[in-house]
Structure 1
Amino acid sequence: MIVMIKGNVGYPITLDPTVWIFDDRKIELEKAFIEREVNKDSESIFQKPPVNRSISKMEGEEYLKNSYVIPLHDFLNNAEPKANAKEAEFIKNNGKNEKISLEDAKNGYLLFSQKGKPLCEDGPVHFYYKDGSNQDNPIKHIKEIHIH
């Protein structure tokens, strides 16, 4: 259930989507594609560091009911793509890899929790474009993100 980011980067990194449920940067799937009333809200998502705090019982119950995405932006920036990097290739468990622009990847979301459960069958993560254009058909079966 891990996802690697590697390739044309300064630092290959390993992601563990199972811990993102506790990350304050997560967004409910249903709310991810709704235009923010204030554009600053969407920018602040990328600037807010995760907070390791206790969760209430009510929050815990909500986590077990909802589906969540997390912005891919911070993870890609932490890997430090090289100046000539232009694409992100999603290496998939089913062998049908898909390439998108690095910019689209940086602006997108990774679904890591569907109705409170990890994506065991077609995960570990799914990719959604920021504009929600592939909301009905996300990129699934992603096991690695290779930067070219």
Structure 2
Amino acid sequence: MVFSSKKDWWLGGIIWIAMIPFFYIIIQSIFIEFSMILTIISLVFILFVGDMWFNTKYVIARRILEVRSGFLKKKKVFIDEIHTIRFTKNPIAAPALSLDRIEINYNQYDTIIISPRNSKRFIHEIIKINPKIKVNKTDTQVN
């Protein structure tokens, strides 16, 4: 089962506005003053951020939660090792494109923060696999 990341519009605005200089560099490099190095650096950056924006997702399959974000970021969490899930708005860097987030605690001290679009359904699917998981609800729950 695949869950896309929830995306905050304001975060998307910040990300894509920050990309304008890289698009400008590519256009300038191609049409005005050709600079292969600047063009390649800009293209790599745009592809990396674009892939992260469009392909951040959370896959539940065969008792494993796989978190995918960007070309290189792939994290596997065994669902049987998850012990608590809680809602959070923690802005720490994470494979989440929204501040409506879920903190997953697994193993003894490991944590990952994600932002599935339908968090209630996501949690329901995880708990179907491991009913021992405790869900800590707060007054800032996400939908």
TM-score, normalization by structure 2 = 0.28
Q: Which has the higher contact order (CA 8 A, sep 6+)?
A: 1
TM-score, normalization by structure 1 = 0.27
Structure with the greater alpha carbon radius of gyration:
2
Relative to its length, the structure with more helix (as a share) is 2
